[in-house]
A and B are shown apart, each in its own frame.
Chain A
Amino acid sequence: NAGVTQTPKFRILKIGQSMTLQCTQDMNHNYMYWYRQDPGMGLKLIYYSVGAGITDKGEVPNGYNVSRSTTEDFPLRLELAAPSQTSVYFCASSNQLHEQYFGPGTRLTVT
């Protein structure tokens, strides 16, 4: 089992560019999540999904979009990147106990 994988590991974007952060899990988990880590602020939930075709907003969804067409994949789309979106992004999935398994993270810089 690879667990939760994320690509890319690092990315630098210019202001106004768009990109998609990829996330895949091979544990057949229904729940998947996107978080961002800001210094001193812990983890902030961007979006989450309780199953294929179902997504919901978290605490900080503005500037992001998600889709969940399969159980395995949960991509996060950034439209019109802004410096405030500079962060480390973690994807996670959870089992029946809602115990979360995190991917390795994507470090994004917007300049």
Chain B
Amino acid sequence: ILNVEQSPQSLHVQEGDSTNFTCSFPSSNFYALHWYRWETAKSPEALFVMTLNGDEKKKGRISATLNTKEGYSYLYIKGSQPEDSATYLCAFGRGSTLGRLYFGRGTQLTVWP
């Protein structure tokens, strides 16, 4: 069983706060690390795909970093807005099973106005 752990499980912040979540994954046989955003009653949507140790990706107020040697990735949201409320999933891609992703359970973010 391949474990992808996300923390915290849920997070409540005020509008304007900055926040970050963690994704831990196996450090061996790494291929890629994905982040997805999943709004209630919708489908998950891809945010980032990272493949190299030290990768940093940014999309607007959201950014992510990757450390493959120690097996973790951080997702940061700067100046959270109510529309950022969603579940954020990370997923690990392993070299020996290309195409298949192993998803964490997600971090549920609620941003209060």
Give the distance to chain A from B100, nearest Cβ to Cβ, in Å.
6
Cβ 8 A contact of B104, one of A31, A42, A105: A42
Q: Mark A74-107, 1 if CB is under 8 A from B, else 0.
A: 0000000000000000100010011111111100
Smallest CB gap from A43: residue in B: B103
A31 vs B45: C-alpha distance when bound (angstroms): 17
Give the distance to chain A from B3, nearest Cβ to Cβ, in Å.
12
Count of A residues near B, CB < 8 Å?
Answer: 22
Q: Is the CB of A42 within 8 A of B100?
A: no
Smallest CB gap from A30: residue in B: B99
17 contacts between A and B (CB under 8 A): A40-B105, A41-B105, A42-B105, A43-B103, A45-B103, A48-B99, A48-B100, A50-B98, A50-B99, A98-B31, A98-B49, A98-B93, A98-B99, A100-B34, A100-B44, A101-B46, A102-B45
